Amino acid sequence: MKKIIVSLKNKSTTNNGVFQGWGSSLCWWAHRIGYSPVLTKKSAEIFYSDNGLNLNIMRYNIGGGDDPTHKHITRTDSEVPGWLYFDNNSNTYSYKYDADSNQLNVLKECYKASGDDAYVEVFSNSPPYFMTKSGCSSGGKNPTRDNLREDSYEAFAEYLAHVTEYINNKLNIKVSSISPMNEPASSYWHYLSDKQEGCHFSSGKSQNKIIFETAKAIRAKGLKDVEIVASDETSTSHQITSYNKYTDEVKEIIDRISTHTYITRRSKQLGQLAKEKGFNLWMSETDWSNTLGKNSGEMGAGLWLASKIITDINDLSPSAWVIWLVIDYHISKNGFNGNKDFGMPDMSKGFWGVAVADHDNEEIILSQKYYAFGQFSRYIRPGDSIIHCDKNTLASFNNASKKLTIVTFNSSEKDIEKDFILDGFDIEFSEYKTIRTSGSLKDGEHWKDLGKTSLENNTFKTKIKGYSVTTYVIE
């Protein structure tokens, strides 16, 4: 029997020990489904209400918008509209406030469903095409070079601030933070890409300049409560490099550091850097089509996600964890914008996202990966303090409610016995409730309430079912 020490001594100190929540980028999936009131309302219920995943963080993508003569993006969901369009009458670019109505429709519903915990961040993948050197919002002709024109830093910052102000003041959706770049130091973003918008900003001068200009533009709009975020790098190594090249002035401007964890070689170093320097840190984007557990079937993707969440939070100690897209696959006989959808993935293999949008039947198809995510997001809540345990276990404690939550997973076929020892708490816990996800979507367990069990001396022994993710709520 393995002993697991759940100790307040191992409490996260990031953001003064306060966890801010779980979320998803809206971006592509919201742009794709937002035309449908049915899918829009269902997505808010499934992902952001307390009947569903109970996510609270929405990352809204301010699209740059590409040259209207370009037809190179082949995905059905990733060509997010910009907000500025050329007006032949005035011979200038004018704002079109309903251009991105699909994503805004989803934002409105998810914001409402999330309630008091709602947290909206706006972010950019690329400036508008006419502000770029290449004339293309998917990237530069040399993807290792800066693609924002030297004369357009202020204009781009003003664009971001204008959209932020509109969402915050006109739509009455409180915007809490803005991130002006996405994976900027990578070399992914190239001219006429078939995938998505992107823009290279080199670590150092270029990133410093756009952070400075964004902050100035945001403050000029009177949006003093909107936090400035950087740099949303693709890897923790890139994020450390970019942080070390921020000027002291820019470090003072930045309210939070956000990183993606597609490459994690230096995650522990970034987590330690945040602790030493005292900055708030988010894991703001990740996912993959991986599985965990031999012969784990439909639980494989969910077990991988559980492991990924725990590893990221243990290594980085972030105050939030945000998946890239909750929906990455779409089913539609007609496709969209002349492109074909991916269709239904094999749920017993790895896949991006946690659900599938069926446009033909206006349904959202769930998965065991969805339910595995909910084992964390429904029970570890904003306002809790994260407690680091081991590579298979994560915990949180809410000082107001005195509720302790433990999430653990078993990626082996056989059941595993564990002895949980609750250390450093000034209360005597009396019982715990068990909630579990296992098996298949058709015949398995989905947040199954297995009832309450009494405990004594702040310790309890339990059996972890094979190929399962299990949550214990202890009071």
Q: Which is more confidently placed, 416 or 87? A: 416
Domain end residue (candidates: 364, 383, 402) = 383
- On the CB side of 37, how many CA atoms lie within 13 Å of its CA? 0
Domain end residue (candidates: 345, 361, 383) = 383
Instruction: Indicate the helix (H) or strand (E) that contains 162.
Output: helix 153-165
| pLDDT value at residue 61 | 99
Mean pLDDT to the nearest integer, 327-344: 96
| 379 plus 397 within the same structural domain | no
What percent of the chain is modeled with pLDDT above 90? 98
| 439 plus 327 within the same structural domain | no
State the pLDDT confidence band at 105, using cuts at 50, 70 and 90. very high
Mean pLDDT to the nearest integer, 407-428: 98
Query: Is residue 150 within 8 Å of 207, Cβ to Cβ?
Result: no
State the pLDDT confidence band at 89, using cuts at 50, 70 and 90. confident
| pLDDT value at residue 95 | 98
| 338 plus 401 within the same structural domain | no
Query: Is residue 320 within 8 Å of 283, Cβ to Cβ?
Result: yes
| 466 plus 357 within the same structural domain | no
Query: Is residue 122 within 8 Å of 164, Cβ to Cβ?
Result: yes
State the pLDDT confidence band at 123, using cuts at 50, 70 and 90. very high
Q: Evaluate if residue 109 carries a pLDDT over 90.
A: yes
Number of structural domains in the chain: 2
For residue 15, tell me if it sits in a domain. no
- What are the start-end ranges of the E strands in 168-326? 175-179, 227-235, 256-263, 280-285, 320-323
| pLDDT value at residue 64 | 98
For residue 158, tell me if it sits in a domain. yes
For residue 3, tell me if it sits in a domain. no
For residue 289, tell me if it sits in a domain. yes
| 236 plus 289 within the same structural domain | yes
91 token code pair:
């011979």
For residue 7, tell me if it sits in a domain. no
Q: Evaluate if residue 337 carries a pLDDT over 90.
A: no
Q: Render pLDDT for 299-332 as a digit per residue (tens, 0 to 9).
A: 999 999 999 999 999 999 999 999 999 999 999 9
249 token code pair:
């002035």
Beta strand 320-323 with 21-25: parallel, antiparallel or unpaired? parallel
Mean pLDDT to the nearest integer, 431-439: 99
| 342 plus 460 within the same structural domain | no
| pLDDT value at residue 88 | 87
Which structural domain, as residue segments, surrounds residue 440?
393-474
Mean pLDDT to the nearest integer, 217-244: 99
State the pLDDT confidence band at 208, using cuts at 50, 70 and 90. very high
DSSP string over 9-43: GGB--GGGG---EEEEE-HHHHHHHTT-HHHHHHH
Q: Render pLDDT for 154-182 as a digit per residue (tens, 0 to 9).
A: 999 999 999 999 999 999 999 999 999 99
| 257 plus 404 within the same structural domain | no
State the pLDDT confidence band at 80, using cuts at 50, 70 and 90. very high
Domain end residue (candidates: 331, 349, 383) = 383
For residue 8, tell me if it sits in a domain. no
What percent of the chain is modeled with pLDDT above 70? 100
Query: Is residue 397 within 8 Å of 37, Cβ to Cβ?
Result: no
| 401 plus 281 within the same structural domain | no
Mean pLDDT over the full length of the chain:
98
Tell me the pTM: 0.98
User: What is the dihedral sign for C-alpha 49, 446, 395, 238?
Assistant: negative
| pLDDT value at residue 121 | 99
Mean pLDDT to the nearest integer, 25-54: 99
Longest dimension (CA), the chain: 77
For residue 340, tell me if it sits in a domain. yes
The span from the CA of 442 to the CA of 379, in Å, is: 24
446 token code pair:
């989905």
Beta strand 431-438 with 445-454: parallel, antiparallel or unpaired? antiparallel
For residue 127, tell me if it sits in a domain. yes
The span from the CA of 296 to the CA of 440, in Å, is: 10
| 338 plus 278 within the same structural domain | yes
| 126 plus 249 within the same structural domain | yes
Mean pLDDT to the nearest integer, 380-388: 99
| pLDDT value at residue 194 | 96
Query: Is residue 53 within 8 Å of 377, Cβ to Cβ?
Result: yes
Q: Evaluate if residue 187 carries a pLDDT over 90.
A: yes
The span from the CA of 156 to the CA of 128, in Å, is: 8
Mean pLDDT to the nearest integer, 223-238: 99
| 370 plus 451 within the same structural domain | no
**Residue 397 belongs to a domain with what CATH number?**
2.60.40.1180
| 424 plus 379 within the same structural domain | no
- Of 288-292, 306-310, 337-341, 361-365, minimum mean pLDDT range: 337-341
**Residue 103 belongs to a domain with what CATH number?**
3.20.20.80
